[in-house]
Each structure stands twice: as C-alpha cells, then as structure tokens.
Amino acid sequence: PQGASQPAPQSTRSARPGASGVVRGTVKDDTGGVIPGASVTLTDANGNAQKSTAGADGSFVFRGVAPGTYTVSSAYSGLQPKPVTVTVTPGQPANAAIVMTVSEQKQEVTVTDTGANEVSTEASSNASALVLKQEDLDALPDDPDDLQADLEALAGPSAGPGGNQIYIDGFTGGRLPPKESIREIRINSNPFSAEFEKLGYGRIQIFTKPGTDKFHGTGFYEISDGVWNSRNPFLSVNPPFRTQQFGGNVSGPIGKHASFFVDLERRNIDDNGIITATIPTGDFQSSFSNQTFFSTPQRRTTVSPRLDYQLGANNTLSFRYAYLTNDHIITHIGSFDVPQTTVGGITLPSNGYSQSVAENSFQMVETSVLNVHVVNETHFQFDRSGQNTTSSSTAPQLNVSQSFVSGGSGYSSPAFAAGLGYGTTAYANSYDNETGYEFQNYTTATWGAHTTKFGVRIRATKLEDFSPLNFNGQYAFLGGTFPVLGASNTPTGATTKLSSIQQYLTTERLLQSGLNSTQVSALGYGPSKFTINTGNPYISFYQLDVGPFIQDDWRVRPNLTMSFGLRWESQTNINDHSDWAPRFGFAWAPGSRSVGGIASRPKTVIRGGWGIFYERFGISSVQQAYLYGLSGASETQYTWNNPTIYDAGFSSVPPLSALTANNSFQHFLIDRNLQAPRLMQGVIGVDRQLFGHTTLSINLMQSRGVHQLITDDLNAPIPIFGACPPGESPRACGTLPPNLGRPFGSTLGDLYDYQSTGVYKQVQGIVGVNSQVGRWLTLFSRYSYSQAHADTEGLKSFPNNPYNIAADWGHSSLGIHHTLFIGGSMTGLWGLRFSPFIIARTGMPYNITTGTDLYGVNQITPSARPSPLTSIPGQLQIPQPLVGSYFNANPLVGAPLIERNYAFGPGSLSMNLRVSRTWGFGSTKFQGQVGGARAGGGGFGGGGHGGHEHGGGPGGGGPFGFGGGGTEHRYNITFSASARNILNHENPNTPNGALTSPYFTKSTGISGGFGPESTASNQRRIELQVRFAF
C-alpha cells in the first residue's frame, strides 16, 4: 500500500532459513513530527546497503536481515540525519528511531505526504476524504460565514440527522477561526474512528497555523459593495449594501525554543433585512405584500494569538487564545418580522432587537513523545461566551401567522400594573452566559503491525441565563373556519375559511365599528391564542458528558488493514448514562501483496465499516425543562385560546386571573425513559486509482436511527376516532368537538414531554472524483443521492396526532435527493489562478399543514396536516402546484392524511468563481512557509502520530503536492476578485406550507447556504481583495 516500505533486498551475507531478523522504525523531526517520504538506508559493517522509503506515517521496515550490527541513516531535503546503530538477532525485531534536525543552512522546508491523492489501505486515507492546504485554502472565501457554508457543502449531506460537525484544533464547539490563521482542513477523513462521536461523513477538522522560524506576515483588505451586485429578485430596488473585511497576521520565532502566530481581523457589515410580509391597508379592508428592506448593520472583531514552545527534544507545548465580538446594532428584521409601522392610526411596534456577543477561548495542547512507539497528547479548552439582547419594544407581540409579526421580540418586558397580577418589575434586557470546559488525553502506540490509540474526552458546560422571553405576551392569529357576517355584523349561519391575515382584518374592522373585544369574540373573531410567561427568568446549571475510547488499526497483511474501535458515552441531565458505540472498518486491496515501488501500489481498495453513533441531549432543551417543569419550575407558561380581552392595537395584556381560570398552563418535561439518539450506520465502497493522481470513490451508506427525539403533549385532549379533532373550532365541526378529556386532568394543562421514540432511515450513494494534473490544475467533485424517511424532525417537532406518532412516517427534511458539487483550482496564462466552486441540488422536502391547532396542543405553529381530496364544496381548496392536488383542512380523526413533508421545494444552482494573481518582488527565498522547527510539529492536534488524524509534521504542502502559495520572492502582493453565484441564478427558498398563509406554496426569499445568500440583499455578490505577504 501507499507509503509502506520497500521490500528489503538480499544482503551480501546470506542468512540461514529462519535465522534472519527485522529492522523497523520511524523517521521524525526533532519536534516529534513524522517525515513521510524520507529515504532510509540500512548499512552493514562491510558497507553493503539496503534502501527503503518512510511511509505516510513515517515508518519503515527491512525484512530478511542477517544477524549483525547495522547503521540506519536517513535523508530528506533540508534536514540533517542522526544515524543510529542497531543489532539484529534472529527472531527479534530491532527498532531504530531516527530523528532529523533542521540543516545548518536554515532552509525553509515543507514536508509533504508523497502519497497524496493515491488510494491506500490506511484507515485515514479513504479516497472520499479531502485535505485542503495553502493554495487550496486560498481558493476558499475569506468571509467566515461563506467559508463555513462552502466547507459544509464540501463535506456533503451528513449521514443522519446530526448534521455536520466541526472540530477546531481537535476541539468541538467554538467559532470558525479566520481563514488567514488556518493551516489545514480535513473533510470526511477516517469515518469510523472511535475517537469521534459522529460518523466521519460530514466531519470537518480545522487546524490552525503554528509559528515560524523566520518572521512572516500578511495584511489584506476586502470589500463588496451593492453597486457591483445583482438585485434580490424579491425586491423592486437594490438596497444599499457594503461589507468590508480587513486584518492581517504576523508569525516568527521567540528565542530558540518558541514561536508565535497572531491574527487580527475586523468586519464591518452594512446589510439589510429583506421584508416579505403581508400587512393591512390603512382602512383594514384588504392587505398587500410589503416587499422592502431595513438596515441591519453589524460589527465583528477577532483577535487570535498562538504560542508554540519546545520544552525539550520530545515535548512541545502550544497555547492559543481567541477573542471575538459581534455587535448587531439592530437585527431580527426581515421575512415576516417588520420594523415599526403605522397602519390606520395603529402603531405596530418593531419586532427587532439589538444584540452584543463576546467570546473568549483559551486552548492548550501538550505533546509528549514518550519513546519511539508511544506519543501522548493532552488537550484543554476553556471557552466563555456572553450574549446580551435588548428588544426594540416591550409591547406584546402580534403574530399574524405567516403574514407579519410586530411588537416586542420578547427579550425585554415592561413593568405591568399591580392589578394585572404579573409583577411590577421591568426587565430591560436578557443575557446568556455559557462557560465550557473540554479536556482530552490521547495516547498513540505502535506495536508490531498495530497502531493503537486510546484516551478520553470530558466536556462540562455551565449555563447562566436571564431571559424574560415572552414576558411581554403574544397574540396570535392562525386563520381557520369563521362565521359569515351579514348586515350589521349579524351571523348568517354560514361559515368560511379565512387565512390568518383575513382573520386579523375582520377583527380590526369589527373593533373599529364600535364593538368591544368581548362582543367581537362572541361573533367568532379575535385572536386565536394569547400566550405569556411569568416568574423568575434566571437559571443556572451544569451539564457534563464523557467519552473514553480505544481504536486499533491492524495491518493484517500489506494489502489488508482492519480497524476495531469501542467508545463509551455518558452525560448528565438525562437518565440514560451508558451508551456503548462499537466501530469496525476495513480496507482491502485485492491482488496487491507486495509493497514499496510504484508498480506495486494498489489500484483498487475496497472499504467498509459499521458503527453506532450517538447524539448528546442539548443543553438548551434541559434549560427549557428546568424553567417550565412540573416541580421546582421557576417560570410558568400560559396559553389562552380564543381570548376575549384585548384592544385594537393589541398593546395591553389581559389580567393573569383570566388565564388561570382557563387552566391554560404549559410544562416541559424530560421523559424518564429518554435515551440518547442512536444511529447505526454501515458503509461499503470502492476507491480506485484511475490514472496518475486521479482517484474515484464510490460509497453506499445505510443509516438507521432509533430513539430519535420528539416532543409530544402527554396531556392533550384524547380524540375520538371518526369524530372532529378535539382542537377543531365548533364552527368547522358543526358542534362542540367531542373528546375523552385530558388523561391527567385539565388542571395540569399541557405536558410537553421530551421523548426518544422517533425512528429515522436513510440510504445514500456517494460518488467522488479527486484529481491533480501537474501543478496547474486540481479538481474535486462529489455527487450524492439520498432517500431519508422519519417520523420526527427533532425536539421542535410535534406529531400531527399526539396519540399516533407512527402516522407521521414520511420524508425527512434531510432527504435532498440529488446533490452535486465541483470545485478546484487552475493556473492559466499570465499567472492567473481560477478557482471555481459549483453546487447544484434538488429541492428540500417540506411539510403541508392546516395552519390550525386541530388537536389542541396549544402550539403557535401547529403541525396538523390536511387530508387529500378532489372537490368538496365549502372546504378550503388551494392548488398545490408541485403535486397538483387539493386539501381538506378539517379531516376527521383517523382519516387518511397526506404524508409528512409531502411537497418538495425548488432546486438550486450556484457557481462561485475566484480569480487571483500574485506578483513577487524582493530577494529570492525558498517557496513555502515552514511550520516551524520549534512549532511543535503539527501543533494543535498533535503530531499526526497513529493514523494522521491530526495533521502531523511541520507545515505541510497542499493535498495535491502544492508547496504553498505566492512566489519565490520575499515580498508578494495578490489581487483577487470573487463572485458568488456568478451566473445570477435565482434560488428561491423553501415555500410556505401553511394552508392559512397568503404565501401558501410560495417562496418568500432567496435560499441560504453556499451562494451569496449569507446576505439577503443581493443575489450575486462581487468581492475584491488585495493581500500583501512577506
């Protein structure tokens, strides 16, 4: 296989059968980083020599060596060897640990993996993985939001509902570092490693730059302006837009044993919220689509220093600190959330808020080379983030479902009058402070044909939160069935279906006609619900999880590697305290038995694996259960259906006594039988070397999830089969809907139980091609096909019928059938470098709902689904163009319903292109940037020992043999221009699926993700950048 040693030629001294020995060892630099590709020579006392080459993990082996004394030496450009002497005895392997040091010429050296982009049986060398370094990173966007979106697109759709997982220097959590400080990115590597909690498909590992032996620096400025960009197709004008990003970094030595790297960046983002709301006309006789924009500026600052220190020949210590601030002057304006607006003399307050975020993160990594076979890594991270939020208004929120939302956003609340019963304390803002600790200790040992890694990760999080969410109250209009009013507002006896905005308009007209709220409600109009929270909004608690593991990669034969792993996980705040996760993988190169030369490298590798993976129960869900639990809860949540006390502006709240009289409490519970979601995943695939440095990978993946999370109302009214649902309005049912009462009595209200009763199934086929044509062209591409079904979308999803979760089996929102991306980099004439990134995918499944609370679970966004029908007079009949059918919004209990996630949204296509040119001047230097002989090898993430999961070696070239960007001059200046969605293709977002919305089956904006849509202002975005480096 790739990277393995060459077969040892026969010595001039012949050995008796069975009397020969073996010499094996590794080649490393003086920081402990392995040196793949180093030439190794074994010389006997007579000067007879045998040669081999260090593999990708720095190892080499000579077999069939006659007994005697030998000298083992190595050679690698820019490094000085330290020969070692070994004695070979029959049956006993001799070990030779070669350490190379930087040569006296102080040349800068880039150590590369000579086996890059070649198929291999090593566990971490799956051809479906991507490794991005230096010039490949230059092709990616500098904007952190765009960078993360592109990396997630490169990782492809994850297997299972857990989503992509990002590791930064081996740590989970934290924010994406600036691109200037990133040394290497690994995507989808070693998918079944027990070191990680999730499957490797969808895993993104980011490693930051260490210091350097010489001083290096970079400064840059980037700008995008709305005058260059294309208009958002949902607006008639192009709003003003500008984003500026500037900063730089410097690195260099500190004495003889230390080096540093410091990065500083600033972003000024003058963006807009794009509003696509439906609001009333001034006379409340009709409504119109208010497509406009509102300025939502923000400012971000990032500072990130790093220090690497060489404690001794075998110990390195690395420190990294990151500080980030993000100030939103005003945000949460856009889509249906409107700024302050006056309609017909009524002021609709702004739904926006201001927010300030600050994060401090400290990381420390100590790497110890205990001996030639054993390396130990200790990682520690402290992360503290704080978020302060202030609402623009403390008025009650007015939510006209899927039409517009105004009023306070709920992060601030007013001081209520004493007689209302809510308390007289005003809360000006909310804060959320989260402190995280993460400790890892990993040991890697090589013994014989085995590489074993074991260790433990412990994470602890303290949440301290003060959030008076919804202490200001909320009125909601959901639409539904209402009486037809004749002259003098007299009911005619007939009923009609109204959308949420029509319900609101009729209510306002009745109030303006002189009727009071009680009279309006008696006619069947007014809000659908009023909700409010009361109590003490402060909470503080801890969550801890632990995950020890052991992983063994066993090279059974030169063409067969088998991997066995076992992981155990546990966490607090749920009753499930023991989760075992066995892992298995293999890589077999059929027909390949010898190793060493180019001709013997395998052309085909068959890979497979199976494992169990778990999702941790989130701390935000624990917070909800602690705040609103049955016992010891600090807050109480109330819901009043069809309230009778309100004013025309919905600017005041009803007294608390009116809510308690209706027994309208809501509690959140963590089910005592809840288990961590478990995903069992298996993969079988083929890696094929097509030609040169071009590889093909084909993988078939099957996932089955059990104990998937869902929220169910344990105390919902019990429906009667064949009757109207218990939450249906009497007008739609023709009578008061019958039910068998609440199982735990009406005084408890709703009991929202966090359960793990869901099921998930997914099948994926993934085809990838990676290629390099010389130094001028690289290409990576991936196509995936997916079919995913489930009966839940996570804790935020409620079943259609609380007593029949199985009826919700249908498409999962993760089941995007086809996804294709193509990326790469090409050097053309005049030194221009072109870096395209193309991604296309079919639409996402989305749910069709009635928009009404049919089963009485008191949710503002109900999940009840309609039944299909062809034509029934009096029913709401809206054509669904994607499926060409009609829907009955009032199905009886037990009636066949449309499938969950019945419809599919529009597909999308985006092509991003970056063009750059570098000019060099000044004295000539060696090309490429050294990782630093004193930088601790791979720095954060260790030295790459035992399977290359953490980089390894100082610096490193690009994944296809590139040595780094720039020219061979001391000073370099680069100009670049990039366009996101250069084809200006319109990519609408997922349509609205509520039958009661005026936007039913319509998209209301452009989609987010890999295109320019991290800003909603423009459909195509142009960015210009200049960078100076020395």
Classify the C-alpha dihedral 704-709-715-719 as positive or negative: negative
Measured distance CA(171)–CA(166) in Å, rounded: 8
More confident residue, 183 or 615: 615
Across the range 256-263, mean pLDDT stands at: 91
Using the predicted structure, report yes or no on whether residue 357 has a pLDDT greater than 70: yes
- Going by pLDDT thresholds of 50, 70 and 90, the confidence category of residue 873 is very low
- Going by pLDDT thresholds of 50, 70 and 90, the confidence category of residue 592 is low
Across the range 722-730, mean pLDDT stands at: 90
| Residue pLDDT, tens place only, 879-893 | 444 333 578 888 999
| β-strand pairing of 604-614 with 678-691 | antiparallel
The per-residue pLDDT for 956 is: 31
Residues above pLDDT 90, as percent of the chain? 49
More confident residue, 1012 or 408: 408
In the DSSP assignment, the letter for residue 31 is T
| Residue pLDDT, tens place only, 670-717 | 999 999 999 999 999 999 988 878 899 999 999 999 999 999 999 999
| Intervals of CATH 2.60.40.10 along the chain | 21-102
| β-strand pairing of 450-466 with 538-557 | antiparallel
Q: What is the largest CA-CA distance in the chain?
A: 117
The full 3-state SS of 465-508, as one line of letters, equals EECCCCCCCEEEECCEEEEEECHHHCEEEEEEEECHHHHHHHHH
Query: Hey, which CATH number is domain 21-102, 3.40.50.1820, 1.10.3720.10, 2.60.40.10, 3.30.70.380?
Result: 2.60.40.10
- Going by pLDDT thresholds of 50, 70 and 90, the confidence category of residue 773 is confident
Asked whether 924 and 968 are in contact (CB, 8 A), the reply is: yes
- Going by pLDDT thresholds of 50, 70 and 90, the confidence category of residue 11 is very low
More confident residue, 762 or 135: 762
- Nearest residue to 478 via CA among 1030, 100, 994, 1029: 994
Burial class (CB in 10 A: 0-12, 13-18, 19+), 628: buried
- Nearest residue to 212 via CA among 248, 184, 250: 250
- Going by pLDDT thresholds of 50, 70 and 90, the confidence category of residue 8 is very low
Average pLDDT taken over every residue of the chain: 84
The number of residues in the chain equals 1030
- Going by pLDDT thresholds of 50, 70 and 90, the confidence category of residue 6 is very low
Across the range 21-50, mean pLDDT stands at: 80
Measured distance CA(176)–CA(1026) in Å, rounded: 22
The per-residue pLDDT for 4 is: 38
Residue with tokens 């395209």: 836
Across the range 835-864, mean pLDDT stands at: 90
The per-residue pLDDT for 154 is: 78
Stretch (H or E) spanning 620: helix 619-628
The per-residue pLDDT for 102 is: 56
Using the predicted structure, report yes or no on whether residue 363 has a pLDDT greater than 60: yes
The per-residue pLDDT for 158 is: 67
The per-residue pLDDT for 736 is: 86
Asked whether 422 and 674 are in contact (CB, 8 A), the reply is: no
| Sequence-ordered list of residues with C-beta below 8 angstroms from that of 263, at least 6 positions apart, any chain | 177, 178, 180, 181, 247, 248, 249, 302, 303, 304, 305
Read off φ and ψ for residue 227, nearest 5 degrees: -70, -20
Instruction: Read off the amino acid at residue 694.
Output: T
Measured distance CA(379)–CA(766) in Å, rounded: 34
How is 726-793 classified by DSSP, letter by letter?
A: TTS-HHHHSSPPP----TT-GGG-EEEEEEEEEEEEEEEEEEEEEEEETTTEEEEEEEEEEEEEES--
- Give, rounded to a whole angstrom, the gap between the first and last alpha carbons of the chain: 39
Neighbours of 963 (CB within 10 A): 19
- Going by pLDDT thresholds of 50, 70 and 90, the confidence category of residue 571 is very high
The per-residue pLDDT for 955 is: 31
Global pTM reads 0.81
Asked whether 1021 and 1012 are in contact (CB, 8 A), the reply is: yes
Stretch (H or E) spanning 656: helix 656-660
Read off φ and ψ for residue 375, nearest 5 degrees: -130, 135
